A and B are shown apart, each in its own frame.
Chain A
Amino acid sequence: MSISLIILFPLVGAILNGSLALFQATKKHKVPESLVSLIGVLLPFLSFGVALKLGIPFLQGREEPLEQSLFSWITAGNFHVEAAFMLDRISVVMSLIVTGVGSLIHLYSTSYMKGEEGFARYFTYLNLFLTFMLLLVLGDNLLLLFVGWEGVGLCSYLLIGFWFDDPAKAYAGKKAFIVNRIGDFGFLIGIFLILSVLLPGVSSPTSILKFSYLSEHVSLLTPMAFLITLFLFIGATGKSAQIPLYVWLPDAMAGPTPVSALIHAATMVTAGIYMVVRLHFLYDLAPQTLHIIAVVGTVTALWAGLIALTQNDIKKVLAYSTVSQLGYMFLGLGVGAYSAGLFHVLTHAFFKALLFLGAGSVIHALSGEQDIQKMGGIRKKIPITFFTFFVATLAIAGIPPLAGFFSKDEILWQAFHHGHKVLWLLGFMTAGLTSFYMFRLVSLTFFGKSRLSHEAEHHLHESPWPMSSVLIILAILSAVAGFLGVPHALGGENWIQQWLHLEAGVHEAHGEVLSLERNLAILSAGWAALNGFFAMLIYLRFPAFPQKVRQSMRALYQLLWNKFYVDEIYDWLFVRPIRWISQVVLARGIDQGLIDGGMVNGSSRVVSGLGGVISVLQSGLANSYALYFLVGLVGFIIFLVVF
């Protein structure tokens, strides 16, 4: 059993379902949804099975990575790239998240997308996404990672614009793709910089971009480490939605909800974190970049958390909370706590997927309603959805002993411990915000009096088993995943940190440090609970209070409601100037003026002008032709005589 099977299964699924989708589109013959579902769900589960089988030895303590080389992909001079896969502890975690959560979301989708026009097309994209994501986490060199990186961007674009006949949704897809491409440009420059340093130093074809080669020769990269890591991080800000490139993620909610859960919450957006963790030996050489990462992560976390406070679309709130949580992960990476960052990726994958799928279940139950101001009081009607959503809320808010508490607190503690007190304080405040807006969401959605329209009330129903069973599984995982990383201060062993052993020289803390860590953990748990309690109190007991706050702080509320006007600012700074340049300079000036007018029409005008001059000579009179004869002859003789 080899690694490539993990990638092969979803690829086969994508090809089969793609053929079915094409068949349906060309022959106008409906393909049964059960067949599409079977292919689309079975193959990811098989892939998960393989990943689990190969991953278990690593979980039991295997150290050396598993490698498989398929063929040599590129050889140009001394530059060599192998199409090869590698499974080590980092990619075991990632591939289990991708295939595990991915398979569950596929199962959920069979029910959520039922009766959809592009049912087969949807599963094609979803399987293709898994293929590329697995390529990203299993590739053993930077170039293969980049192929996966671009591939998931493509699938994200296709799925955001899944309902492409709605122009707004097609626009959201384009926006995501273009913003991601800006980041990818930085990523490419990072790769080129690595090549420019390492390529002159080799004398025979070498797999320079292979991770193991990079880590062995990392000392050569030291002088350029700051620039390389910075450019690679720009790539990460695009894919993982950090300031300044986060703007695409909230708009990505235009896609079907399971897509938001899979791509824009659980897996694809963690690609940037995976990349940094994968290249942690390189980032260790560039403390300035790490500092930038930590600051960007913290500011993004706070920024998105503030925006999430005022949003009314259930998916938008979750989208901003995703941006915010990704900020936490980068904070963890930035202070050098790579395993804490990866641990938060793991727990976040569970509870954020659960939140999105729960939101999908709510939307499904309410016949498409997404505005939380028009919900309320539905917890008794859809108990499974409510219960699982509530578990996920507790998890993300950081209420012990659910998963989010341990991973988030580990990051905050590491920030504090490494001396970044300001960042810790901002992160701590964001934790309170997280709790507040999540409990606001739960209160408005599930508690209180019903504000449903009569129509929606009538159709209210619990989701069918493929959806609810997935919610239950993810709820269990969200509840218990935190126990993988219980810190020493709380009597655990921090198993995941030990197992990943990414950080150089983790010291066994003891005495005062341990008690400080314990106190901080208790403090942040209390802080989260307090904020959650206040949110519920305000929105359930005093529903008029938010209204008053809104009126008394009108300017601030407007600022948050309009997402700090970032979209508008970008529109003014970048979109409009580029559009102006495109229309006036490039289209009208260069294309219509220079190319059409000057080169295409101009050359024909020159030819026809010259023809007009010469055609005067073509009189049709034989006598004059004889004269030209003479002129030519005389000219020829002169030529012979003179030269």
Chain B
Amino acid sequence: MATTNAAGPGIVLSRLSKSYGNVHAVRSVDLAIAPGETVAILGPNGAGKTTTIEMVLGLTRPDSGTVTLFGKSPAQAVAAGAVGGMLQTGALVEYLSVRELVTMVASVYPRPLPVEHAMRLAGVTEFADRRTNKLSGGQTQRVRFAIALVSNPDLFMLDEPTAAVDVEGRREFWASIRAVAAEGKTVIFATHYLEEADAYADRIVLMARGRIVADGPATEIKAKVSGRIIRATIPVAGLAAPAAPAAPAAPADTAALAALPGVTNAERHGEAVILTCADSDLTLRALLSRFPAARDIEVAGAGIEEAFMALTADHNDDELEKVR
């Protein structure tokens, strides 16, 4: 992975770790994002997205590892006005109108956008004179977006920016983000919606249990995590291929399952089998003909959570034990 491009260093996370008590929120994360990229950090709740974002913003101190933003420390980058964003929580202060609040935030940045322009982009102009405590959840979220926009930073950090926003609002929001990205700004957003990550990011960084489990172009990641999951019970005797009786050679069995058409990942825990599939119809037909003893078959749409579990099950089960 390139840590720099022609425009100089972007955002570089190096062996970044953070624990809260026994919980390893972020474990040795390495990530490099070039200036101008739009990157989605995708993961289920508890994946470490927010902790990672907080460390990038300098709100949380890493236990170990470093973060640099455009070659500076987070504190320096923040002080220089290079960072703007929407945190996951953040009520607005009261007793100000929307316009006054946006003006107030704009005044602390060195190169703010004109207030009216930022308000138009965020779609808050029509309620600009309303007090901030008289807004709906969606309107509040738009005002928070206006605050991020008016600060005109080099890096936008958006932690689940479309939570509580209706469909129409989401469309407008992403249109504005695209406009910002087109100006060469770096955009990093956290989400647990695959569709959002797929539609609006150049690149998806997949996090689960504090680690980056996949990192690549949106199309590639989408293929990995979409699809379905087949669960079944296959007696060990039935698993051992038809001809060879009583051979509990587990690795070969898992390999045989993984070799079924349409399977992207196979797991076996005793008699329980979990298959992550790109094409579950194809897999199911093959499964039944190859392993007629299979029973209790369940086919489910792979929620992103399941997909992550499947993707990450192999390499950190042991560490999970330690955490729990």
A associates with B: no
